[in-house]
Structure 1
Amino acid sequence: MKKLILGIAIVASAFVFGQKDANALNAQLQAANKAAMDAYNAKNYAVAAPKFVEVYDLLKTAGQDNKIYMYYAGLSHALANNSDESIKIYTDLVNSGFTGVETTYTAKEKKSGQVVNLDKATWELMKKNPDYSDFKTEQTKSVEPDLYETLTSLLLNAKKGNEALVIIEKGLAKFPNNAKLKEAQTNAFLQSGNTDKFINGLKEQLAKNPNDATNWYNLGVMQSKTPATVADALESFKKAVELKPDFADAYQNLVYTTIGDDAKIVSEINALRKDKPDDASKLIDARRERFNKALPFAESWYKVAPKNIDAVTTLKEIYVVTKNMDKVKEMKAKEAELSAAAPAK
């Protein structure tokens, strides 16, 4: 999330209320604006959010529908972890077509040299006043991309994948090259249960950035769920550790994917031992071969995560199957050491 740009000052010259109590209203605006900015700068976002709403409401009372303050309120709610409030405000802003683009009007007072902020109508009138010069306008940058990105992130964090997809599609229609929305779309596909689109999204991202170890890992996880793509999963995990040599989770998945469903294989072996010993022997040999292939991955997993008891136990079991008893003893000792050091449950 972007930090708020709080250089916008509410000044009396910016408002033309046409009311006898204009001064009182302006005083309220000044006070609410100061309270909002002070709270935000102090990182007291829960206080800042309603104060920004108050500024918006006061301006609206004066006939100015300046939604930038609702944007500030939504962002403050997000930073305060008030997700529901933030989602509501951001959704309203997206649906309203809000961009945050504002035009400021300034002029310089010749006598004092002071630059003053003016509303558009006053700025136009002042052009005829010989006491003022240097009439300028300036547009603020659009916050619309940030608005879509933040709302999408809030919805995904709230596990609202389907709602996030609606916002993402709307955002990508306006900003088709937005990398953050593309990445969020992939995550939203997974969260909403559309695994095929999730996988395709990962592949698209990897085509653009083949050096993203996390995306290779995520692709491997999805590929490992289908027997037909297990070999592809192994290649994806290998690519992940190639790019990130300390990627413990990727090594773990390389081990488990290489070994496969070992409990099922052991059950089949036990069922065949008595009546079909030759068939059982073939399964035993094939099992040992898979464990030998998994061994270097398990050793790498242990190397990058030596205090992970799962890594230690798995490596110990692989040494048992591959009949390396010295290493079995070493891993048993390490396993006992880690178990003793673990906090009591």
Structure 2
Amino acid sequence: MKKLILGIAIVSSAFFFGQKQEKPDVNAQLQASNKAAMDAYQSKNYAVAAPKFVEVYNLMKTNGQDDKIYMYYAGLSYALANNVDESIKIYTDLINSGFTGVQTQYTAKDVKTGEVTSLNKGIWEGLKNTKSKDYTDFKTEQTKSVEPDLYETLSTLLLNAKKNDEALALIEKGLAKYPNNAKLKEYQGSALYATGNTDKFLTNLKEQLAKNPNDATNWYNLGVLQAKTPATETDAIASFQKAIELAGTNTALLNNSYQNLVYTSLGDDAKAVESINTLRKSNPDEATKLIEARKGRFNKALPYAEKWLQTNPENIDAVTTLREIYSITKNQAKATEMKAKQAELEAKQPKQ
């Protein structure tokens, strides 16, 4: 699961309503709420900014302007404040409402200053139609849709909240609208795996790797799935090796890949030992063959285990595994070295 990264330039706006006589302070209240929201957001005080953006939205809606961009800002702020439940609720409502965030911006160049200024639509049209000498270069531009961002962010929020079925349904809904969205395809894989749809997850991984064969994490995930089936263990080893090749300085991925290379190479060792013990008396020749085959698997796993320990020298699992491998492969000196290393690491463990 990829870390949730959120960021957007939130632009302050000026508000002017035709004030009703019974609410002479509505503009002042709106301006104050907007300023409080903006100041809190810029100060990264997202827990304060979020409800203030909701307040701005409600004030505007009460006065006839249903501008959901402020709910979008609120949802973003709640997410940044780690208030996942509120953020999920807002993002869900925005998606269900069909909100895209697309707006038309009206600009003109101030002749005196030479600066491009954003204007209210009515003012912009008035200045343009009267051929004002104070402004030139009248332009309109539509902002980019934020709908893909809504789907991406809500998918991540749901996955992080372990609401995997909801996440999968949302992702598939998003992909129906944006079939080439790389992030949603990636999140789809995470959701499929989390919901136990391993066959679909495998297909998803292969599709992702066809598009981006340099994604080390996807190679690792593919290896994990392939390692679950004896018939594809060789493929799993190749996938883990590819992940290592592409991992760079990602020590966690290197550690996990080498660990899985070891375990995949060893296979189901407990089952192998059980078979050997069963055959020792009834069929010693067959038992000997199984013993030799087991030694072969341990020899195969040895270089991976050594690399595993090199990658993570303080990993007690790597040490104990390597100790056993050295014992089976008759390298007693190294086994003794690993025994001492194991004792050293165990001594550092916190007391229970």
Residues in 1 aligned to 2:36 and 2:125: alpha-carbon distance in whole angstroms: 32
- SS of aligned partner of 2:67: coil
Q: Which residue of 1 aligns with 2:105?
A: 104
Q: Is the 8 A contact 1:10 1:29 kept in 2?
A: no
Q: Structure 1's 108 and 287: CA in aligned 2 closer, same or farther, altered over 3 A?
A: closer
Q: Please point out which of 322, 334, 350 is paired with 1:327.
A: 334
Partner amino acid for 2:264?
T
Q: Which residue of 1 aligns with 2:240?
A: 237
Q: Which residues of 2 match residues 256-275 of structure 1 at below 5 A?
A: 256-275=263-282
Q: Per-residue deviation at 1:242?
A: 2.1
Q: Structure 1's 115 and 307: CA in aligned 2 closer, same or farther, altered over 3 A?
A: closer
Between 1:96-105 and 1:200-209, the stretch displaced more is 96-105
Residues in 1 aligned to 2:31 and 2:83: alpha-carbon distance in whole angstroms: 26
Q: Per-residue deviation at 1:150?
A: 0.4
Q: Which residue of 2 aligns with 1:220?
A: 223
Residues in 2 aligned to 1:342 and 1:68: alpha-carbon distance in whole angstroms: 52
What do the CA deviations read for 1:158-206 (whole angstroms, capped 9, x no partner)?
1222222222222223322211111011111111211111001111111
Q: Per-residue deviation at 1:121?
A: 3.4
Tell whether 2:199 aligns with 1:196.
Answer: yes
Q: Which residue of 2 aligns with 1:184?
A: 187
Residues in 2 aligned to 1:128 and 1:316: alpha-carbon distance in whole angstroms: 85
What do the CA deviations read for 1:79-116 (whole angstroms, capped 9, x no partner)?
11111111111011111111111123345677898976
Q: Per-residue deviation at 1:120?
A: 2.5
Residues in 2 aligned to 1:21 and 1:39: alpha-carbon distance in whole angstroms: 30
Q: Which residue of 2 aligns with 1:291?
A: 298
Q: Is the 8 A contact 1:152 1:164 kept in 2?
A: yes
What do the CA deviations read for 1:123-149 (whole angstroms, capped 9, x no partner)?
334445557533443332221221111
Q: Which residue of 1 aligns with 2:82?
A: 81
Q: Which residue of 2 aligns with 1:119?
A: 120
Partner amino acid for 1:326?
A
Q: Please point out which of 143, 147, 150 is paired with 2:146.
A: 143
Q: Which residues of 2 match residues 290-309 of structure 1 at below 5 A?
A: 290-309=297-316
Q: Is the 8 A contact 2:19 2:26 kept in 1?
A: no
Residues in 2 aligned to 1:42 and 1:202: alpha-carbon distance in whole angstroms: 40
Residues in 1 aligned to 2:120 and 2:23: alpha-carbon distance in whole angstroms: 15
Q: Structure 1's 249 and 21: CA in aligned 2 closer, same or farther, altered over 3 A?
A: same
Q: Which residue of 1 aligns with 2:65?
A: 64
Q: Is the 8 A contact 1:251 1:297 kept in 2?
A: yes
- SS of aligned partner of 2:140: strand
Residues in 2 aligned to 1:310 and 1:57: alpha-carbon distance in whole angstroms: 56
Residues in 2 aligned to 1:267 and 1:111: alpha-carbon distance in whole angstroms: 90
Residues in 1 aligned to 2:191 and 2:228: alpha-carbon distance in whole angstroms: 19
Q: Per-residue deviation at 1:331?
A: 0.7
- SS of aligned partner of 1:104: strand
Residues in 1 aligned to 2:20 and 2:117: alpha-carbon distance in whole angstroms: 22
Q: Is the 8 A contact 1:298 1:314 kept in 2?
A: yes
Q: Structure 1's 65 and 303: CA in aligned 2 closer, same or farther, altered over 3 A?
A: same
Q: Which residue of 2 aligns with 1:282?
A: 289
Q: Is the 8 A contact 1:74 1:89 kept in 2?
A: yes
Q: Structure 1's 109 and 244: CA in aligned 2 closer, same or farther, altered over 3 A?
A: closer
Task: Give me the CA root mean square deviation.
Answer: 2.1
Between 1:169-178 and 1:100-109, the stretch displaced more is 100-109
What do the CA deviations read for 1:247-290 (whole angstroms, capped 9, x no partner)?
01111111111111111111221222223222221111111111
Between 1:227-236 and 1:109-118, the stretch displaced more is 109-118
Q: Which residue of 1 aligns with 2:9?
A: 5
- SS of aligned partner of 2:301: helix
- Gapped regions of structure 2 (runs ≥ 5): none
Residues in 2 aligned to 1:113 and 1:327: alpha-carbon distance in whole angstroms: 77
Q: Is the 8 A contact 1:107 1:132 kept in 2?
A: no
Residues in 2 aligned to 1:265 and 1:4: alpha-carbon distance in whole angstroms: 56
Residues in 2 aligned to 1:300 and 1:201: alpha-carbon distance in whole angstroms: 30
- SS of aligned partner of 1:124: helix
Residues in 2 aligned to 1:231 and 1:110: alpha-carbon distance in whole angstroms: 71
Q: Is the 8 A contact 1:109 1:131 kept in 2?
A: no
What do the CA deviations read for 1:15-68 (whole angstroms, capped 9, x no partner)?
342523565111111111111111111211111111000000011011101000
| Residue-pair matches, total | 342
